[in-house]
Structures are given as structure tokens and as C-alpha cells.
């Protein structure tokens, strides 16, 4: 089916175009939309693009960091102020994919993809949406719960810069250095006087979309990251997860493995 490509100079115009044609797809890096076109997906016939410069800008402002939704994984890896996210961006695809895949596109990547979003979830990121509830900062977790029905344009992602020691990420894949996730885990564990306060733990490939491991967060809250704290967290590792079975791993295997890798992440072992 022929596709109509509409290119706009501003995100506002692009968002309006998406609102007026609910089947239209927004194209950023192309890794999801072009793939769908190549596979003969006939559910949409309009592709919307924006050449807005702000879409591809990284804007650190003190303790806050804002990434335009069109920022690529390669841009993240090249930015010295985002060193805590370098390993996360590097875990996405190979070099060519990292030059194309965007922060915004990753938010829509179906399981088991979307490892960057897992990190953003642990960082309590909020999204600036254009169109619909325009101007409202939407918590990432709320967005993920409704992302299949989303018709707004994600303009940017904002989060607080973590203390580097408090942020951890681990991706488990069968093929290295480039492989799709069996699962991924991101944890932001700020400590106050040796006790964790405000724990955020997120999983990828453990549900249809990246999810918060709230039982693990509760188990860690107010505790030290010592053997008893880690044991309590690991005991709750698989609670609330609904992983899928695919060519990489069965749901059973993912549920078994998440505790093993959460333990390694929390104890700092390889």
C-alpha cells in the first residue's frame, strides 16, 4: 500500500497531523516504522516526520537532564555528561542501529526490546507530550500503561541526574556484544546514611512493557545494601512479573533468571 509521508518543521504541526489521522505513525529513527512498512503492515498509510531541531537536542540543566525524543543512542554515548547512561545506550543494537534508534522510539519498542526505557523508568523520568494533553508532564510509568492507545507526540524525556554510584544497569542476552534481552534490570538506589531511600527498580522483557519491580523496591526501602537487604529483595524478584515466551527464552526461564541477575546487580558481581 502506498505510504504518504508528511514532513513538518515543528513538533506542534507534526502533533496536529497525528491527532487528525489516528492511524498515522510518527517516524523518528525508522527502526520500528520502516520495519513495519517492509513487513507489509497495512494498518497505517501515513507517516509523519518533524525536522524540529529541538527534537534531537540534549539539554542538561543542573540536576535535571532533558533528552529530545529524537536523540539517538549514539548521541547519548558521545555525551560526557551522560556517562551513567553510556552502558545502557551501548546495549541497544549494533553501531548502525545506535546511530538511528532514538530515545523516543525506544519508549514504543515492544518486549523484549526497549532497554533504554527500562533505565528511564528507574530514573523516574517524565515525558513532555505534544498534542492531546499538551504541555503536561506525563510520568513514564503512566505513559507505558497506556502506550498502545497513545496518539500524542512525545517531545522530550526529563529526569534527575543520579549519583553515579546509585545507578546500576544490567542486560542479559545470549549473544554478545549485540543481543536481544532475555531480560534487563535498572536500579536507582539513593542512600541516606547507608540506608536506601527512594529505591526504583525496573525490568525489561518481564512484562509486555518495561515495568517497575515494586515488591523489590519495598523490600529495599530503608535497608542497607548488605546481605540481608539483598536477600529480602531477591526473594521478591519475580513478584508481579508477566514475562512472555519467545525465541530467546521461555516465561518460566525469565522468572527463574530475574532473581539470579537481580542478586548480581545488587551485590555488584559480574
Partner 1 sequence: MKAPVQFKHNGSDVAVFVDGGASLLTALRDGVGDTSPKFGCGQGTCGVCTVLIDGEVHLACITLAETVAGRSVETADGLKSGPNLHPIQTAFMDNFAAQCGFCTPGMMMAAKALLDRNPSPTRADVIDAISGNICRCTGYEPIINAILAAAGSRQRA
Residues that bind partner 1 (CB under 8 A): 2-5, 7, 27, 30-31, 34-35, 37-39, 47, 49, 74, 93-97, 99-100, 177-178
Q: In Å, what is the CA distance from 147 to each residue of 142, 178, 239? A: 9, 27, 23
- From the CB of 125, what's the least distance to partner 1, in Å? 25
- From the CB of 174, what's the least distance to partner 1, in Å? 14
Torsion of CA 228, 231, 235, 241, to 10 degrees: 120
Distance CA 191, CA 196 (A): 4
Task: CB nearer to partner 1: give 3 or 197.
Answer: 3
| Angle (CA) 155 159 162, round 5° | 155
Distance CA 93, CA 178 (A): 6
- From the CB of 176, what's the least distance to partner 1, in Å? 8
> Which residues of 79-173 form beta strands (DSSP E)?
126-130, 137-139, 153-160, 167-173
- From the CB of 86, what's the least distance to partner 1, in Å? 13
The C-alpha cell at 136 is 503536561
- From the CB of 81, what's the least distance to partner 1, in Å? 21
Task: CB nearer to partner 1: give 85 or 121.
Answer: 85
Task: CB nearer to partner 1: give 39 or 227.
Answer: 39
Task: CB nearer to partner 1: give 25 or 255.
Answer: 25
Task: CB nearer to partner 1: give 177 or 193.
Answer: 177
Question: Do the Cβ atoms of 50 and 11 come closer than 8 Å?
Answer: yes
Amino acid at each position: 500500500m502506498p505510504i504518504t509521508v508528511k514532513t513538518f518543521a515543528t513538533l506542534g504541526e507534526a502533533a496536529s497531523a497525528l491527532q487528525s489521522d489516528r492511524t498515522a505513525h510518527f517516524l523518528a529513527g525508522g527502526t520500528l516504522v520502516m520495519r513495519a512498512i517492509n513487513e507489509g503492515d497495512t494498518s497505517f498509510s501515513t507517516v509523519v516526520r518533524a525536522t524540529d531541531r529541538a527534537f534531537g537536542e540534549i539539554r542538561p540543566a543542573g540536576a535535571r537532564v532533558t533528552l529530545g525524543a529524537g536523540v539517538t543512542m549514539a548521541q547519548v554515548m558521545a555525551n560526557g555528561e551522560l556517562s551513567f547512561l553510556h552502558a545502557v545506550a551501548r546495549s541497544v543494537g549494533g553501531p548502525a542501529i545506535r546511530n538511528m534508534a532514538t530515545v523516543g522510539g525506544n519508549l514504543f519498542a515492544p518486549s523484549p526490546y526497549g532497554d533504554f526505557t527500562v533505565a528511564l523508568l528507574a530514573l523516574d523520568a517524565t515525558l513532555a507530550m505534544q498534542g492531546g494533553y499538551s504541555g503536561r508532564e506525563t510520568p513514564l510509568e503512566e505513559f507505558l500503561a497506556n502506550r498502545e492507545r497513545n496518539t500524542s507526540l512525545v517531545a522530550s524525556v526529563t529526569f534527575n541526574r543520579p549519583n553515579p554510584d546509585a545507578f546500576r544497569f544490567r542486560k542479559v542476552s545470549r549473544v554478545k556484544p549485540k543481543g536481544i534481552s532475555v531480560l534487563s534490570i535498572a536500579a536507582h538506589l539513593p542512600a541516606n546514611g547507608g540506608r536506601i531511600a527512594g529505591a526504583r527498580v525496573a525490568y525489561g522483557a518481564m512484562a509486555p512493557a518495561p515495568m517497575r519491580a515494586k515488591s523489590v523496591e519495598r523490600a529495599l526501602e530503608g535497608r542497607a545494601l548488605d546481605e540481608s537487604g539483598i536477600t529480602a529483595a531477591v526473594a521478591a524478584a519475580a513478584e508481579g512479573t508477566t514475562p512472555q515466551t519467545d525465541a530467546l527464552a521461555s516465561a518460566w526461564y525469565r522468572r527463574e533468571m530475574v532473581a539470579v541477575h537481580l542478586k548480581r546487580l545488587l551485590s555488584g558481581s559480574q
